[in-house]
């Protein structure tokens, strides 16, 4: 079934009875060429690109709950390519380009909206840092514009520009940045992978990884053993636990990140606005809700819910930046489990086990990475060589210290990245 304007019209006139399921619900087979553990954005994108680019279709994606129930359905949907460091810079540039063709590629409306992202600055020092970052982004071939206070007053009139502690002096704008609807990304990728023959198996928890003589042989699951020639681990906040099944100790800590949404209001915020000094960022969803969040909860946990002190901190920061927000009622808050690395940058690599691959460490920025990570991880699994855009995402950089990509400059504290 292909989506088109004609199809929607036709279905609308005939009672919407002709829509079919977007993906099948197959029973797991006893053996696959490739098993992907984790049906989040990255796992589904990996399966999709394995099938699309490499013609590999005897693949199962094993998801312990339902697809989209993890971070990919819990994030604040920001998509951007405004990183400054080699490694991250080329990877996120690659990912943003994939986003720009994703809807046509999937024949699915993921509501990708390039409404622009603005990172505010409040001091001369921060302005210099943003000018440097903007130049790095432009050198990479992506867009960045340094805006002054007057430019911003026209674009974001609702901000409190004269906050005593953090007066707004300007911002770094990336016009191609924006948002996408997270659930639709999951559904579109699942549909695309399924159409190419990939089995998406939900309610199937991986409980063990079978290894013989240093080579992966398959996985144990809550629905029985499944043999596989190659296995990819893509489980975000659960990376440490699943990698431990293969005897690995990852340089990852799992931390909680919360987000919030208000009742729907009339269109008020046209862009994504990030207030880094206050640990606050905000955008407005297509339904009208103000979607916002802040920093990690600052303690390691596997619970996908947060705590009150961070909630209070985020609300305070929001009120400091745009006092009018105080009139909107918060409808919901939720949390997700972040796989934090010591340098805040991800890992896409082989492991010490032949045929076992790992993709993790996306911290709180992995939604924008979904197509890029899927493409690069699929390339690694299919060809045994790293994709050029992800060649620096090596696991051993944490052992050797060579090639660290500490974008925030905060050192090896997982919870500060
Ligand atoms: C509140 C919040 C806001 C965020 N905002 C942004 C943002 O604005 N922009 C951005 O780029 N990123 C953002 N992120 C980060 C982003 O959501 C994550 O980095 C990204 O979604 C992680 O990759 P994933 O989609 O594959 O993870 P997940 O969706 O978590 O997928 C992993 C899957 O693995 C499954 N799994 C785990 N263990 C097993 C097992 N043993 N067997 C089988 N399956 C298993 C899980 O159930 C889960 O479905 C945010 C995250 C949160 C929580």
Mutational pocket test of ligand 1: of 78, 185, 207, 235, the residue with most ligand atoms within 8 Å of the beta carbon: 235
Give the integer Cα–Cα distance in Å for 136 and 369: 19
Regions of the chain short of the pLDDT cut 50: none
Ligand 1: centre distance to CA 368 (Å): 11
Q: Ligand 1 atom 53: the closest Cα is on which residue?
A: 336
In this structure, is the dihedral angle defined by the CA atoms of residues 356, 395, 129 and 125, taken in order, positive or negative?
Answer: positive
Ligand 1: centre distance to CA 40 (Å): 6
What number does the ligand 1 atom closest to the CA of 337 have? 53
Q: CB-based burial of residue 406 (10 Å sphere; 0-12 exposed, 13-18 middle, 19+ buried)?
A: middle
Ligand 1: centre distance to CA 374 (Å): 13
Give residue 126's Cα distance to chain centre.
Answer: 26
Computed over its alpha carbons, how large is the radius of gyration of the chain?
Answer: 21
Q: Ligand 1 atom 4: the closest Cα is on which residue?
A: 75
Give residue 294's Cα distance to chain centre.
Answer: 16
Q: Ligand 1 atom 35: the closest Cα is on which residue?
A: 38
User: β-strands 199-201, 59-62: how paired?
Assistant: parallel
Query: pTM for this structure?
Result: 0.97
* The 253-264 sheet, strands edge to edge: 145-148, 170-174, 117-121, 272-275, 280-284, 289-300, 253-264, 330-340
Residue 416's pLDDT is what? 87
Q: Which of left, alpha, beta for 216 (phi over 0: left; psi -120 to 50: alpha)? A: beta
Ligand 1: centre distance to CA 162 (Å): 37
Q: How many residues does the chain have?
A: 417
Give residue 90's Cα distance to chain centre.
Answer: 16
Give the integer Cα–Cα distance in Å for 236 and 370: 12
Mutational pocket test of ligand 1: of 44, 228, 334, 336, the residue with most ligand atoms within 8 Å of the beta carbon: 336
Residue 127's pLDDT is what? 97
Residue 408's pLDDT is what? 86
Binding-site residues, ligand 1, Cβ < 6 A: 37-43, 62-65, 69-72, 74-78, 205-206, 234-238, 242, 257-259, 293, 336, 362, 364-368
What number does the ligand 1 atom closest to the CA of 77 have? 8
Q: In sequence order, what are the residues at sequence separation of 6 or more whose Cβ sits closer than 8 angstroms to the Cβ of residue 270? A: 115, 116, 155, 284
Give the integer Cα–Cα distance in Å for 395 and 345: 11
Render pLDDT for 69-83 as a digit per residue (tens, 0 to 9): 999 999 999 999 999
What number does the ligand 1 atom closest to the CA of 40 have? 31
- The 8-class DSSP code of residue 63 comes to -
Mutational pocket test of ligand 1: of 49, 75, 187, the residue with most ligand atoms within 8 Å of the beta carbon: 75
Mutational pocket test of ligand 1: of 296, 361, 364, 375, the residue with most ligand atoms within 8 Å of the beta carbon: 364
Residue 412's pLDDT is what? 87
State the first-to-last Cα distance of the chain, in angstroms, to the nearest integer.
43
- Average pLDDT of every residue of the chain: 96
Ligand 1: centre distance to CA 331 (Å): 22
Ligand 1: centre distance to CA 159 (Å): 31
Residue 363's pLDDT is what? 96
Q: How far is CA 66 from CA 63, 187, 245, 270, 400, in A?
A: 6, 11, 22, 32, 38
User: β-strands 272-275, 215-221: how paired?
Assistant: unpaired
Q: Ligand 1 atom 31: the closest Cα is on which residue?
A: 40
Q: In sequence order, what are the residues at sequence separation of 6 or more whose Cβ sits closer than 8 angstroms to the Cβ of residue 207? A: 220, 221, 222, 245
Query: Would you state the structure tokens that stand for residue 129, as one six-digit string?
Result: 């840092």
């Amino acid at each position: 079934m292909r989506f088109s304007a004609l199809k929607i019209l036709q279905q609308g006139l005939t009672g919407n009875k002709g829509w079919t399921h977007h993906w099948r619900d197959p029973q797991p087979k006893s053996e696959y060429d490739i098993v992907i553990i984790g049906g989040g954005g990255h796992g589904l994108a990996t399966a999709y690109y394995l099938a699309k680019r490499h013609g590999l279709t005897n693949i199962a994606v094993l998801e312990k709950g339902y697809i989209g129930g993890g971070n990919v359905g819990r994030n604040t949907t920001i998509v951007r390519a405004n990183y400054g460091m080699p490694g991250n810079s080329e990877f996120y540039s690659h990912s943003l380009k994939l986003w720009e063709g994703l809807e046509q590629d999937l024949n699915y409306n993921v509501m990708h909206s390039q409404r622009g992202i603005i990172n505010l600055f409040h001091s001369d020092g921060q302005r210099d840092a943003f000018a440097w970052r903007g130049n790095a982004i432009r050198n990479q071939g992506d867009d960045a514009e340094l805006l002054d206070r007057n430019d911003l007053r026209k674009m974001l009139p609702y901000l409190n520009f004269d906050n005593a502690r953090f007066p707004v002096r300007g911002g770094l704008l990336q016009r191609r940045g924006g948002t996408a609807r997270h659930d639709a990304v999951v559904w579109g990728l699942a549909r695309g992978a399924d159409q190419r023959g990939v089995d998406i198996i939900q309610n199937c928890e991986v409980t063990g990884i079978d290894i013989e003589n240093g080579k992966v042989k398959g996985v144990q699951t809550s629905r029985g053993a499944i043999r596989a020639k190659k296995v990819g681990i893509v489980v975000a906040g659960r990376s440490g636990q699943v990698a431990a099944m293969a005897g690995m100790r990852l340089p990852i800590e799992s931390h909680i990140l919360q987000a919030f949404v208000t009742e729907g209001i009339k269109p008020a915020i046209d862009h994504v606005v990030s207030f880094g000094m206050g640990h606050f960022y905000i955008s407005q969803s297509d339904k009208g809700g103000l979607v916002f969040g802040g920093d990690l909860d600052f303690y390691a946990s596997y619970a996908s819910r947060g705590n009150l002190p961070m909630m209070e901190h985020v609300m305070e920061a929001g009120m400091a930046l745009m006092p009018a927000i105080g009139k909107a009622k918060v409808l919901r808050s939720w949390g997700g489990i972040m796989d934090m690395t010591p340098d805040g940058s991800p890992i896409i690599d082989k492991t010490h086990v032949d045929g076992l691959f790992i993709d993790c460490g996306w911290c709180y920025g992995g939604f924008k990475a979904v197509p890029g990570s899927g493409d690069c991880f699929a390339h690694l699994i299919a060809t045994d060589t790293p994709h050029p855009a992800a060649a620096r995402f090596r696991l051993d950089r944490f052992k050797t210290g060579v090639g660290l990509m500490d974008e925030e400059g905060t050192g090896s504290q997982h919870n500060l990245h």
